[in-house]
Structure 1
Amino acid sequence: MNLGEFDTLSSTDSVSKPYDSSTETGEITFRPVYRDHVDDTEDLARLGYKQSFHRGLSLFGVFSVSFSVLGLLPSVAATLNFSMLAGTPGMLWGWLIALVFVLCVAASMAELCSSMPTSGGLYYSAKVLAPKRWGPLASWVTGWSNYIAQLCFLGSCIYSLCALLIYGVDEFDGKDFVYMNYHIYFLCLTFIVVLSIMASLPTRIMGKINSVFTFLNILSLLAAIIIILISASMRHGFNTSTGVWRNFQNQTEWPQGFAMFMSFCGVIWSMVGLDTSYHLVEECASASVNAPNGIMLTALVGGFSGWIIHVMIAYTVVDYSRVVNAPNLWVEYLIQVLSHNGAKAVIALTLFSNFLMAQGVLISSSRIAYSYARDGVLPFSKWIARINKRTTTPINAVIANSSIVAAILLFVFVGQCAIDAIFAVSGIAAFVAFIIPIGLRSFVVKDSKFFRGAWHLGRWSRFIGGVGTIFVVIMIPILCFPTSMHPGPFDMNWTSLGYSVPMAAVLLWFAFGAKHWYKGPKTDMPGLDIPRMSSFKC
């Protein structure tokens, strides 16, 4: 990866005047500026925005929030029903194969982040990269798909936290406690209040807290792995490598090859928060370098750490079929491998990691809501886009997202099938938002028309983005398949319905109303409007 060459310009050549009108062509000509230092305010001004946040996050601070959003222990625990569909070889080979393509998506996203370091992120990029006529629609679809993903992802994190807590207590307290849906719902509301307070803290304090939490999160992950490995070696031993890497156990009614593709879904769902660093870019110092590095660190560290956890599970699981058919696969696995106290300890570590995951998602989603409201996309945008003067954080956006998630969680009372469908939407919605700007960059915008930031992929840019885009296009329908070839109403995968209904609503809104006033992300710098890549002359 070529990080670009840096040219020193005089102060009169800086981006205080980033766009010049060409008297010969009448086009706006972009004048890229490369420096041996990064001026974040100027970079943001080049994109048409004034600095509103305090840039208190370093590379480690951005990575801390992003890594917390991945929440490896709870993510693996929640996605075992996908990862284990093709047996232990599917868990291991499937995760590695899918990770290669997810890394292509991450690298392309990092390149866009360096080129356009604004918290609007993907939907800003979609507007810039799309052909002029389709820019507003591309931006609208990208923005709303990403926002829906964040809300569903936040709801799923909070729900899984509360469900695991209640299920774990019910399993290990030795009492015959019957929990109801309202127990889970009101526990979810309690966590929403706590998480909202934490997400509203000043950026400087939030960065320090998340830095500490990241160390604790990593320690929790290592502690869980050590506990499981030691206990397994003492109690049951390890499974043979031949069985682990070759013994396919198709848990679906589909052919083995298709079951392998379905096992990829676990990686996709675990990487829903891949764009977190992008949405924190306006709170990050040296953003055009640190935020892209944060995206790649998250993908690499998170991806390979998740694979290591799956290797551990594959070598230590005792009764594979029993785990797959259990109400909670993670708890059943821990009961098989660990002692009573050991299982409780690992569940406690999973709950802690899940809490940090939910906190990171709320921070990220509130910044997305703020950036969209700043551009007038959301209802009540003026109120949501206000920055609290004392904390310099978007507290109103935090409140708005928390309220919507509290409403989404009412699906708990409909049934498990409904709540699973709503939460599975996050994977499809997120990756649709990821590949729209990446696909435009790869298949529409030529290299000569693309303004590269300090972090870029060089001549491999379009190839890597194209590979990632094709993979996601193939996987989106697979995410909607049920494991049974003849499913009943409660075995059906309702994910496609959960995604298509809200997206159909926002598309109708655009067709019959928003297209008349929504022209894409707004800029708040006087006299500037969002530039077009086709006008960039590098």
Structure 2
Amino acid sequence: MNDPEAKPPDTLDNQVLADIGYKPELKRNFSKLQMFGIAFSIMGLLPSIATTLSYTLPAGPYGMVWGWFVCAFCVMSVGLTMSELGSALPTSGGLYWWTFYFAPDKLKRPLSFLVGYSNTLGLTGGVMSIDYGFAQIFTSVIIVATDGRWNPSKYTVYGIFAACVVSHGCVGSLGTHHMAKFQTMCIFINFAVILVVMIALPIGARNRLNTGEYMFSHIDNLTDGWPDGWVFFLTWLSPIWTIGAFDSCVHMAEEAADATRAVPFGIISSIGACWVLGFCLNIVFAAVMPHDIAPLLNTKFQQPMAQLVYDCLGKNWTIGIMCIFFCLQWTMGLSNVIGASRQSWAFSRDGALPFSTFLKVVNTKYSNPIRCVWGNALLALALGSICMIDATAAAAIFSLSAGGNYLAWFIPLTLKLVFGQNKLTPGPFYLGKRLSIAIGTFASTYLFFAIILLQFPGTTAHPDKLSMNYTCVILAGVWGGCLTYYFLFAHRWYTGPKTTVDVVDGVGESSCESIELVDESEGEKKRVVNDYSTSHSTSQTTLE
């Protein structure tokens, strides 16, 4: 029997958001399935594996298959921990908001400022790297079609990249109901293409398929000086790059219906789908790959995946499949622009970004922070120009995406683990105290290790200036610059998350937690009481 006092889902969502301190400004057009769709679309399983195949091939089929499986298991622990927070505190600000909530008083502002900027730049770096990947796959199609006679200049590649970014800015400015429907379409297209590739490649290579023993146990080491064990860890770079940006579900929380459930559903289901399907795809690739891997890595097509498909299916199939790949890559970039713009909008709403007053405005006709959409697009264009220096500079700036996001995940999840066990009132998705601590500890350990892993040269233990991995320089510059900016200037005006609603009346001390925020309109400190237990229990009564 329905509860006569039950509230509509939108009312419950907006009440939870008001408890956090924000008034609703975006329309809740995204269902649970579409929340899965936006994260799964950004991951873009097939094109992402295609563009990161050079990380896994040097370890041979064993590293390709099992490196994916083990690393994806680790990523799932991060997703489970993040889902707890997304269920309890569903706001577009997400990571930096949680950091402010859990951090000790003296560290609240600088750490939330660092996390917000690292996340913003990481997501924008993701837009840049995905769209540059689009340009590379696009040019590889032409190279295959001309049998390697055409070689694009770096300016040609950048021009294609820039056109892709601009197209994402235009389409990303449409109404959110169009974007929600687009995510549903992307789900079916991605699954269909994955199925086609998994069937077509083994058929094309049916006369030379590798044995199961070779696929699951053969180890290669095509690096210069790295031991076999470390080469296995380097294969993790492929799933690290691919199974990322699931925090986009957090940033879309204020546009999700039944956000306390939709956010964790989107995170966990997208990671799980990529874990299983990616494992299956890597098994297929291991089954059809040649024993001599060097020609794949040194292919004239500039994409190992293009060479692999060419060897199995021939020229025409390769052109067709790679065309599908760059179309999927385009959808990845669009979804990433959408997610990144919501993070930038939330950070602007709290006054942290330059030109925040301008950027935080929501277009009421389309219910879309269009200014942030274009702000992210323009920043991606600027970052992409660095890729024209050389391949080493391009690899370094690409690392901004994974490194920036991993730090932005590591800090709030670790703070919650250390300081938040008795502070957080769980949402509908909760692992239980013991399991939450165990999985959270594992997730933080993995994130710390992955951040270190990203700093290492992938091909040689004896790097020179060309083979050196300059990720450490880029990330140190970004993180150091953020903190320097905060302590020199931003500490004067950045006070942490602001409230955009009036103070919510409190309830009993035993059932709530509070956080000190700053009211945007009056500039005076207030105590906003977060009665999540009441909101969530009402939600469960209504929807179950």
Which residue pairs with 2:494 in the alignment? 518
Structure 2: distance between partners of 1:355 and 1:490: 30
Letter in 1 for 2:265: N
Alignment match, 1:145: 118
In structure 1, what residue type is equivalent to 2:484?
L
- 1:116/1:536 CA distance change after superposition, 3 Å: closer
Whichever residue aligns with residue 91 of structure 1, its letter is M
The answer on whether the counterparts of 1:149 and 1:425 sit within 8 Å (CA) in structure 2 is yes
* CA apart distance, 1:435: 1.4
Q: Give, in angstroms, the shift of residue 229 of structure 1.
A: 2.1
368-377 vs 412-421, which moves further: 412-421
Q: Which residue of 2 aligns with 1:452?
A: 426
**Is the 1:71–1:354 contact (alpha carbons within 8 Å) kept by the matching residues of 2?**
yes
Please say if 1:401 is aligned against 2:401.
Answer: no
**1:20-68 per-position Cα deviation (integer Å, ceiling 9, x unaligned):** xxxxxxxxxxxxxxx9997101010000000000101101111111111
> Which ranges of structure 2 fall in alignment gaps of 5 or more residues?
506-512, 517-526, 534-544
Residue 505 of structure 1: how far off its partner (Å) = 1.2
Q: Determine which of 447, 451, 462 is the counterpart of 1:486.
A: 462
The one-letter amino acid of 1:502's match is V
Name the SS of the counterpart of 1:532 in structure 2: strand
CA shift, 1:167, in A, is 2.2
Give yes or no for contact 2:9–2:257 (8 Å, CA) kept in 1. no
Alpha-carbon distance in 1 for matches of 2:78, 2:4: 33
Measure how far apart 1:444 and its partner are: 2.4
| Letter of the structure 2 residue corresponding to residue 434 of structure 1 | W
For residues 249 and 17 of structure 2, the distance between their equivalents in structure 1, rounded to whole angstroms, comes to: 16
Structure 2 CA distance for aligned equivalents of residues 162 and 531 of structure 1: 48
Corresponding residue for residue 94 of structure 2 = 121
d(CA) in 1 for partners of 2:197 and 2:167? Answer: 25
- In structure 2, the residue matched to 1:272 is 244
For residue 259 of structure 2, what is the aligned residue in structure 1?
287
1:469 maps to: 444
- Structure 1: how far apart are the matches of 2:142 and 2:228? 37
Identity among equivalent pairs (%): 27
Supply the distance in 1 between the matched residues of 2:184 and 2:32 (Cα, whole angstroms).
Answer: 11
Per the TM alignment, residue 420 of structure 1 is displaced from its structure 2 partner at its CA by 1.3
Stretches (4+) displaced over 4 A: 7-11, 35-38, 533-538
Equivalent in the alignment of 1:371: 346
For 1:524, the aligned partner's letter is T
Is 1:313 matched with 2:313? no
Choose the corresponding residue for 2:227, options 234, 255, 258: 255
Q: Which residue of 2 aligns with 1:32?
A: none
Q: 1:254 to 1:402 in 2, by over 3 A?
A: same
Partner residue, 2:214: 243
Contact kept? 1:74, 1:350, Cα under 8 Å: yes
Mapped pair 1:101 → 2:74: yes
1:500 aligned partner, one-letter code = A
The TM-score, its normalising length taken from structure 1, stands at: 0.90
Cα shift readout 1:65-99 (whole Å, capped 9, x = no counterpart): 11110000111011112222322111111111111
The amino acid of 2:515's aligned partner reads R
Deviations 1:77-135 (A, max 9, x none): 11112222322111111111111111000000011001110000111111101112211
Alpha-carbon distance, 1:251 to partner: 2.1
- Structure 2 contact 118–478 (Cα < 8 Å) conserved: no
Structure-2 residue corresponding to 1:353: 328
For residue 274 of structure 1, give the secondary structure of its aligned residue in structure 2. Answer: coil
How many pairs are equivalent?
507
CA distance in 2: counterparts of 1:39 and 1:536, whole angstroms: 13
SS of the counterpart of 1:117? coil
C-alpha displacement at 1:413, in angstroms?
Answer: 1.9
Paired position in structure 1 for 2:184: 211
Shift of residue 9 of structure 1? 11
Code of the aligned partner of 2:480 = A
Give the letter aligned to residue 430 of structure 2: H
Whether 1:380 and 2:355 are equivalent positions in the alignment is yes
CA distance in 2, matches of 1:477, 1:423: 16
Q: Find the aligned partners of 1:301 and 1:131 in 2 and give their Cα distance.
A: 36
Paired with 1:536 and 1:47, the residues of 2 have a C-alpha distance of 6
Residue aligning to 2:540: none
